[in-house]
Structure 1
């Protein structure tokens, strides 16, 4: 087990950019900044055809960096782009269907777990991870307090890993790590200033290396 696997790791939510070449370059640069476990690709406002084009360009960039490429929502796009998995933003019904169809061939996680009741319903489906927050939920500098509280409760009881959406401040990653969550997802904190993305990824990894609690083997 490497050092990074003993503490909370970074998940990136790909930036919302209509130009596929620019998006590929920004993501490629960010991934050179340091350890990233996975990258979630939301559709944002792209048409299905454009989303397919973006996924086919971005998935190899992500995989080349050693991260898992997770497509939000669209199973056909994930299959055609040879992604590693699916991030399901809907509730337990949608997630359950995706798990049934695509596990273990693909990583399947997500859930939109807005409270303990929904989180437990999702947990019963045995997804690969549960996501607290929304991939576009980084609207304040800090992570949402409700998501931090859910993650702390979840991590103390349940073995299924959880991912928590951080805030727009890279420092929010530490508050997520302190809940015991296995992963922190960042979007605007990394990509708000695209040219700074590699140095932010490096800084977040350094912060987690120095201050994040360690998991027991």
Structure 2
């Protein structure tokens, strides 16, 4: 993942402090919880100097793919439409009047595929981060505090009482604990992730369970973008 930076905001009283054993265990299993769920409904808010982009999507954490709608705020509609992505590619279906939610079955035509950019695109970095928030095994709970993970405070997201913890990036690189904020429920369920991407002044927010999850169907017949 490219350009992870520490993000502020959202701390409750008393933080930061070292994680308790229970908190370390919750942080260690949070990405595994997404994998166990198979997929989650997400809303990704991507900042930008030309206006924000919002991706309302479903992410399949076993199939490693996401599908949804991307819409701009405070900008033109040139980026609006349906979007499907994997760890290596992004397929877009431009629409001047994009729906609030993607149809369960993707259109069969007018898709354009390009490589997912590792650097230089806040949108692509955000898509990669969202896809990386699932893992087929828990992280090592003992290593998280040693690498700087910490409790930051308490909050409420979508009616759920949560603890805010800083922890490692979804890319699982060494030395990245503290770079990402996780809003976690008592059982380790992930309800929000906040991370800065590249040089953008505002962080990316990824909120979970904002709408109904729809299984991700593969896009067929996408032409490569020129």
Q: TM-score range by the shorter chain?
A: under 0.3
TM-score by length of 1: 0.27
**Whose radius of gyration is greater, 1 or 2?**
2
More strand as a share of residues:
2
More helix as a share of residues:
1
Relative contact order higher in (CA < 8 Å, ≥ 6 apart): 2
